[in-house]
Amino acid sequence: MPKVLQKSLPYKVEKYILENGLIERGDHIFVALSGGADSVCLAEILGGLREKLSIKLSAIHYNHKLRGEESECDEKFVIKYCKDRNIELRVGKKRAGEKIKSEEDARKLRYAFFEKFLEMERGSKVALAHQKNDLVETLLLNLVRGTGLRGLRSIPLSRKFFIRPLLCARRAEVEEYLAEQNISCQTDKSNFLPVYTRNVIRHKILPELQKINPRVVEALSGLAERADADYGIIEAVTLEALKKIKVGKTSGKVILDQKKYLKIDQKLRPYLLSRVVRDLGIEKDITSTHFRAVDDMIARNIGKKSLPLPHSLQVKLIGGKIILSILSKGKYERQ
């Protein structure tokens, strides 16, 4: 393999991977390859490092079929790219009947495909090509919508079997690298449409912020990094507290001891409830307002003893126990 220059993007990514333990020798890494600049850049860099890192490199592509012929062109590009570089490729496609009404729907389908695939390829990891600008855009999106410390973390470096080795690089560095190497990629025209909030942040808000501070991407990504470190401490304390108050867990249900719950610091209790909700598989739409309402009901312990929340989640108080459960549609149990 050619020597990697210390100031080059491949060196930067390699250093980032090793410092954060993202990849171990012998790992089978699947690059999530859309055909866009970021994913092609990541595939090129990992392709150049596979012998040095002693990894098996493959690619995985999901066709959402959202953009008609453009989506088909992306798939054809990815197939040719992998064939030219002798990279094994797996392709998934949106099935008939699966509806996509938003970017979030598309993301859910894509990740569901990745996770199902990883169940079959145990021990493998999927490398996602988010870079530093993506992280900052997500942080700003979270701020605008309202968020806490967890939202300030923005995009995590790793989660389960997903890793993001390109989070150390800015979008400009990615584009510069591809231009220097004369590597082509696909362009998603929807990334320029002002109907998407992320595009407004990317093309209007972030450039204005860069006029105030040219290093705003570094500044905000640094904030996300510090928030992640602080959140890690809170999460560790939360998990310890949860061990002491959790008295039962089954599929779709968690039971907590009410008296022990109330002995926990009130400032920590929303984090604890958030953790339980995530353990039940709910990642979005339940906010700090919901958690305050739940905590208030538990603390008062009079009057209303049940509370319905989004995603068919219900919280009930029965005999000194706090029961959080996911109900079938239309099965809300009233007290």
Q: Where are the domains of the chain?
A: 9-224, 251-326
Whether 9-224 and 251-326 share one fold: the answer is no
Per-residue pLDDT of the chain (335 residues; tens, 9 = 90+): 444 444 699 999 999 999 999 999 999 999 999 999 999 999 999 999 999 999 999 999 998 777 778 889 999 999 999 999 999 999 988 776 666 666 777 788 888 888 888 888 888 999 999 999 999 999 999 999 888 899 999 999 998 899 999 999 999 999 999 999 999 999 888 788 887 889 999 999 999 999 999 999 999 999 999 999 999 999 999 999 999 999 988 888 999 999 999 999 999 999 999 999 999 988 888 888 999 999 999 998 776 789 999 999 999 999 999 999 998 754 444 43
Q: Which residues contact 157 (CB under 8 A, 6 or more apart)?
A: 20, 22, 163, 164, 167, 228
Q: Which residue positions form the known binding site for ATP?
A: 34-39
Fold of 251-326: 3.30.465
d(CA 56, CA 47): 9
Q: Which residue positions form the known binding site?
A: 34-39
What pTM does this model have? 0.85
CATH number of the 9-224 domain: 3.40.50.620
Q: Which residues contact 164 (CB under 8 A, 6 or more apart)?
A: 22, 127, 128, 129, 130, 155, 156, 157, 158
